[in-house]
Structure 1
């Protein structure tokens, strides 16, 4: 337990600092790509640190379960967490996801035209990236449903 004590609280504090700052930047749409990645990985570090901290302080934690205010705060937090799994919001969900799905399902000629390239140039770019694409195919069919491969193809076409 002594070795656990040495790193549990410092890890919790460090990951909270990272999560707090990067989360605030994300709230105001000021995040960077690295900031988002660090935020996501710091979440795992925070889970580990908080879990260890909770194990070290289990008995004091259980006293909070007897206090109405503490139970209310934890109950509201739990309810908010559950609500994040509900399909609330505008009909149809995230419009950017709908755009990506439309691009994945469209024929190669349409996608390449949307990327601002000529058909031959787009097909060549895909070939150079390791994708044997032909006119008439969709990105989804070519990638055989692999989302990672689909994103690579979209990136290849739209970042030139």
Structure 2
């Protein structure tokens, strides 16, 4: 099988463009629609395309690694990669996660105040969604578990007007 530049280069360039744009949106926590999912899944295409592109251009790549500048640049990125796995202080979660967790642990009476509704209406809404609410003192985390995605889905439903 022959790897063709006319395939590997455009696929590498196109997937890089998608990853660059979605990555910038994700950096600012403003990824619209399916941008995050596209970023995650297209990264596999980019990885494969880059590997094929490297295979097609291996002679040139080897040449770059014999020069000091190429060694320093590749080495610098290898070092950044290594450092990126080092544990750092904090939870490593985005800053909006702590308030979401707090809302998930708040009693339904408090959530009702935040949603500007009555606890009875909120309980009725949650029961319509199939949750077994027994008391207005329960929290979303008690009702749906510690899964932050589930809690966020219910918070969105309860707070959307």
Query: Hey, what's the Cα distance between the residues in 2 that align with 1:78 and 1:68?
Result: 15
Alignment correspondent of 2:122: 122
Mark the runs of 5 or more structure 1 residues left unpaired by the alignment.
none
Structure 1 position 78 matched with structure 2 position 78: yes
Per the alignment, do residues 148 and 28 of structure 1 end up closer, same or farther by CA in structure 2, a change over 3 Å counting? Answer: closer
Contact kept, 8 Å, 1:109 with 1:119, in 2: the verdict is: yes
Instruction: Name the count of aligned residue pairs.
Output: 159
Q: How does 1:1-160 map to 2 (within 5 A)?
A: 1-2=1-2, 5=5, 7-24=7-24, 31-86=31-86, 94-134=94-134, 135-160=136-161
Q: Give the superposed CA RMSD.
A: 2.9
User: Structure 2: 5+ residue runs without aligned partners?
Assistant: none
Q: Residues 103 and 72 (structure 1 numbering): CA distance in 2 closer, same or farther, change over 3 Å?
A: same
> Distance in 1 between the 2:46 and 2:25 partners?
18
Structure 1 residues 131, 29: CA separation in 2 closer, same or farther (over 3 Å shift)?
closer
Give the TM-score of the pair, scaled to structure 1. Answer: 0.76
CA contact (8 A) 1:104 1:140 kept: yes
Distance 1:128 1:48, change over 3 A: farther
Q: What TM-score comes out, normalization by structure 2 length?
A: 0.76
C-alpha distance after superposition, 1:51-97 (max 9, x if no partner) = 222233344433333222112112222233334444558x6764311
- CA-CA distance at 1:47 after TM superposition: 1.6
SS state at 2:130 partner: coil
CA distance in 1, matches of 2:10, 2:88: 37
Segment of structure 1 superposing worse, 128-137 or 12-21: 128-137
- Inter-CA distance 142–31: structure 2 relative to 1 (3 Å threshold): closer
Q: Tell me, in whole angstroms, the C-alpha distance in 2 between the residues paired with 1:25 and 1:108.
A: 33
